[in-house]
Amino acid sequence: MHLRVGNTWYFLVSFIDAYSRYIVHWRLLPNMTAEEVALVQLEALEKYPDVKPQIVSDHGSQYTSREYRKLLERSELEHILCRVAHPQSNGIIERYHRSTRAALREELPPHYLAALDVIAAWVDDYNERRLHAGLRYIEPAEYFRGDPKRRMAERRAKLERGRLYRRQINLAREGHGVRSLNKSELPAVGAAAYG
């Protein structure tokens, strides 16, 4: 992805976990050479040495280069190349690029080091706070490091508790002689209460 910082164009290279949409690693490069991309890929792999991800990329020369292929072979990783002229095949990272362009459109300062800080803040927000529709409105960090099933169970329990409370209020208003419950009388919310 190209980003303009001041009067210079740079390349934002990012590696995303497809399951969680979590940005595992990124770098802002002055050149998009095969050697530089292979080095950034190696940095990403070194962050999580016990993981053997499938690598999905386009047919860019840096991803089809001998250096990059050797890195993937040494790391025993499967490389999946997307169909030519079909960005939908790599839709997860393409959507991240679209969000990044929109978020950074007005924010990038004219200096490289300041731009790195802005990008780092954006990636942190994207990973830790931004809710994703594809993840049932949970943050990527929760899917990547946390327990999304527990979080969904808590959310369902909270909704059920709210429904019960509203039903009691509505029945009391309609004069059915049903005593309205205080919120403290409702069942507990949490993983312990709902298995």
d(CA 65, CA 35): 9
Q: Are 140 and 96 contacting, i.e. CB atoms less than 8 angstroms apart?
A: no
CA atoms within 13 A on the CB side of 100: 27
Q: In a 3-state reduction of DSSP, which class is residue 89? A: helix
CATH number of 2-145: 3.30.420.10
pLDDT in tens, 114-137: 999 999 999 999 999 999 988 989
Which parts of the chain sit beneath pLDDT 70? Answer: 176-195
| Dmax (CA) of the chain | 78
In this prediction the pTM is: 0.79
In eight-state DSSP terms, residue 110 is S
- List the structure tokens of 186: 């409702």
